[in-house]
Amino acid sequence: MELGDDAVRFKIGDRVGVPWLGWTCGACSYCRNGQENLCDLAKFTGYTIDGGYAEYTVADQRFCFPIANSYGDTNAAPLMCAGLIGYRSLTKAGDAKRLGLYGFGAAAHIVAQVAKYQQREIYAFTRPGDDEAKQFALDLGAVWAGDSNELPPQQLDAAIIFAPVGALVPQALKAVGKGGKVVCGGIHMSDIPSFPYSILWEERSICSVANLTRRDGEEFMTLAPKIPVRTEVETFPLEEANEALNRLRAGKIRGAAVLVTESNSA
């Protein structure tokens, strides 16, 4: 392992997290307005920067986060992706007291803990019939857990959709009250079916979340060990990445799937 010539923020042996946002230009209008997550030239780890599915990688020190000692490597990993995007989604929900979470996987299991700490009420929506996911949500402090095609017992102030299912957007609009927000937390989503204007009217709104800013990361990585957020992980050796992805698609992972390399499986 080596440090670059100007790398002074960390020393060899420090444990750092390398998130999705790997580089921004610092000069475009988004970067200058505190929206570096939308930077026109942004580079992303494992996508436009090598790394992610790797044992060794090169990372820009300015975009890495220190990780609290209270987390083991595998438990810290989901904080970098599911945790950060979940946290940004939660901030988009504003100060909503009654919060719906659609899709109770890696991101939701972290967001639920942060939301509970902030004294919000969590209403968890899972794939119809997925009783295991419902129980998981209740174990993490949700006040109610039901099928995604059900309406909650109370109108919600906001809902975050983590499942990549466009049909959940009109469902969530029906679940939120006047002025309610529906936040789409995923990168991809199937097409959103058309819906009557009446379920958007009364100042309900829909927004999406893209990437993260370093500020989100600093806030969340300070907050997580304080709560403390506990991550539930299922680990797979790097060679079994495809199996991990298949299980994830099939909804068979409880919490987050984490790939481990030989150097951190010990």
Return residues touching Zn ion (CB under 5 A). 24-25, 28, 31, 39
Q: How far is the CB of 2 from Zn ion (least distance, A)?
A: 28
Q: Which is nearer to Zn ion, 36 or 121 (CB)?
A: 36
- Beta carbons of 102 and 148 less than 8 angstroms apart: yes
Is the CB of 30 or the CB of 220 nearer to Zn ion?
30
Closest CB to Zn ion: residue number: 39
CB of 202 to Zn ion, least distance (A): 36
Q: How far is the CB of 26 from Zn ion (least distance, A)?
A: 6
Judged by beta carbon, residue 39 or residue 163, the one nearer Zn ion is 39
The residue among 161, 113, 167 whose CA lies nearest residue 137 is 113
Q: How far is the CB of 38 from Zn ion (least distance, A)?
A: 8
Identify the helix (H) or strand (E) that includes residue 27: none
User: Under a CB-based contact definition with an 8 Å cutoff, are residues 207 and 185 in contact?
Assistant: no
- Nearer CB in complex with Zn ion: 171/211: 211
* Residue whose CB is less far from Zn ion, 31 or 173: 31
Q: Which residues pair with 234 in a beta bridge?
A: 257
Comparing CB distances to Zn ion, the nearer of 22 and 146 is 22
In the bound complex, what is the minimum distance in angstroms from residue 256's beta carbon to Zn ion? Answer: 29
Reply yes or no: is the peptide bond before residue 228 cis, omega within 30 of 0: yes
**Residue 28 CB, nearest distance to Zn ion (Å)?**
3
Q: Rounded distance, CA 182 to CA 176, Å?
A: 8
Tell me the C-alpha distance between 163 and 237, whole Å: 25
**CA proximity to 65, closest of 220, 211, 186, 185:** 220
Determine the length of the chain.
Answer: 266
| CB-nearer residue toward Zn ion: 30 or 65 | 30
Instruction: Report the b/e string of 32-66 with b at 16+ CB within 10 A.
Output: eeeebbebeebbebeeebebeeeeeeebbeebbbe
Q: First vs last Cα of the chain: how many Å apart?
A: 19
Query: Minimum Å distance from CB 120 to Zn ion?
Result: 33
Tokens for 213?
């800013």
State whether residue 179 is helix, strand or coil: strand
